[in-house]
Amino acid sequence: MTSNPYLPAMATIQEVIEETPTIKTFRVTLNNPQIKKDFNFGPGQVGQLSAFGIGEATFVINSPPTRMDYLQFSVMKTGEVTSMLHTLSAGDQIGVRAPLGNAFPYEDMKGKDIVFVGGGIGMAPLRTLLLFMLDNRKDYGKITLLYGARSPVDMAFSYELPEWLERDDLDTHLTIDAEFEGWEHNVGLIPNVLLDINPSPENCVAVTCGPPIMIKFTVQALAKLGFKDEQIYTTLEKRMKCGIGICGRCNIGTSYVCQDGPVYTYAQLKELPNEM
């Protein structure tokens, strides 16, 4: 990051992947060789993407820091900025302010079993940590992934799923909400499937992200399985502008999601005022 925290680094879009009807993934490289060389981040940290003339929006860097050929952001079309970003294609210029916020405590997670539970676009922040761990596979214990979406067409990163399913050092489970022709995996809501998988909380951490309602019930399911609040990690999303804890809109009590988050344990969230 430059000394001016508001000045985006210019980047070039290398590739655009249409993940689902509403999600596109952008693979970008920073233009300035020095900035590119110095750039590093932790899995879970976010960036602000600039669509000049429209504004900025926050997305997690969902590629892992172990693969620095490009930075990957997945963008769900919901508002003004994301709609503009969806019009961009390979070769287009984009502004990037990153990394912002905190990362998953991947050092503390070493030697532990990991359970990833992702729903919809919520798979993006899990992907960076999952790939980071797969790239440092010996540092971690058993890794389980449960990824769910409404239907197969709503499933992002579908091109990676066969490999994930095939790997014998990764226990992958996929689920959709309702029966779909040709679907060979689980059918059912994520928390229910999670209970069926029945992961042991022993020396294990769970990392979950998805729509608020899914997180709520997933956390309940994890509690039922014996996971303590400190063993459950999630990432929060808030309206953000400055990204550096100043502009004042993303706070939950004393915690600024753009700076102190987006990664929190469930125990930490419980300590914060109830204003999600």
Partner 1 sequence: MAQTKFIKKESLSAWLEELGQAHTVLAPRFEGDSIIFRPYDSEKGVFIDREATAPPKKAIFPQSETLLEYSQIKDMENLTKIAIDVKETIPTTTYVVFGGRPCDARGFTMFDRVYLDGDQVDVYYKARRENTCFITLTCEKGETTCFCNAVGSGPSDPDGSDLLITPVTDGYYIECVSTKGEGLLASSLLTDGSSMEGEATKYKQAADASMNEAPDFTGSPEKLLAVFDNGPFWEEMSDKCISCGACTYLCPTCYCFNITDEANGLKGTRIRSWDNCMSSMFTSEASGHNPRPAKANRLKNRVGHKFSYYPDIHGGVISCCGCGRCIKSCPVGVDIREMVKSAIAFVDPTAKEVPAEEPKAAPTEKPAPKETSVKAENTSAKAKKNKKSKKPASKKKGAK
User: Which of 110, 162, 169, 212 touches partner 1 (CB under 8 A)?
Assistant: 212
Q: Which is nearer to partner 1, 188 or 245 (CB)?
A: 245
Lay out the site mask for partner 1 across 128-157 (x = CB under 8 A, - = otherwise): ----x-------------------------
User: Which of 102, 144, 218, 231 touches partner 1 (CB under 8 A)?
Assistant: 102
Residues 20-49 that bind partner 1 (CB under 8 A): 40-42, 44-45
Q: Which is nearer to partner 1, 211 or 226 (CB)?
A: 211
251 binds partner 1 (CB under 8 A): yes
Q: Is 15 helix (H, G, I), strand (E, B) or coil?
A: strand
The tokens for 89 are 């294609």
Among residues 45, 52, 120, 107, the alpha carbon closest in space to that of 80 is found at 52
Q: Which is nearer to partner 1, 97 or 173 (CB)?
A: 97
CB of 222 to partner 1, least distance (A): 18
Reply yes or no: is the peptide bond before residue 125 cis, omega within 30 of 0: no
Burial of 254 (0-12, 13-18, 19+ CB in 10 A): exposed
Rg of the chain, C-alpha, whole Å: 18
User: Which of 27, 70, 95, 171 touches partner 1 (CB under 8 A)?
Assistant: 95
Instruction: Give the H/E segment covering residue 132.
Output: helix 123-135
Burial of 139 (0-12, 13-18, 19+ CB in 10 A): middle
260 binds partner 1 (CB under 8 A): yes
178 binds partner 1 (CB under 8 A): no
Among residues 234, 232, 231, 193, the alpha carbon closest in space to that of 211 is found at 234
Residues 61-80 that bind partner 1 (CB under 8 A): 64-66, 78-80
Q: Which is nearer to partner 1, 79 or 226 (CB)?
A: 79
CB of 97 to partner 1, least distance (A): 10
Q: Which is nearer to partner 1, 110 or 224 (CB)?
A: 110
Find the part of the chain contacting partner 1 (CB under 8 A) among 16-24, 95-103, 159-167, 219-227. Answer: 95-103
Residue pair 121/25 in contact (Cβ under 8 Å)? The answer is: no
Instruction: Give the H/E segment covering residue 34.
Output: helix 33-38
CB of 101 to partner 1, least distance (A): 8
Among residues 252, 218, 221, the alpha carbon closest in space to that of 238 is found at 252
CB of 51 to partner 1, least distance (A): 8
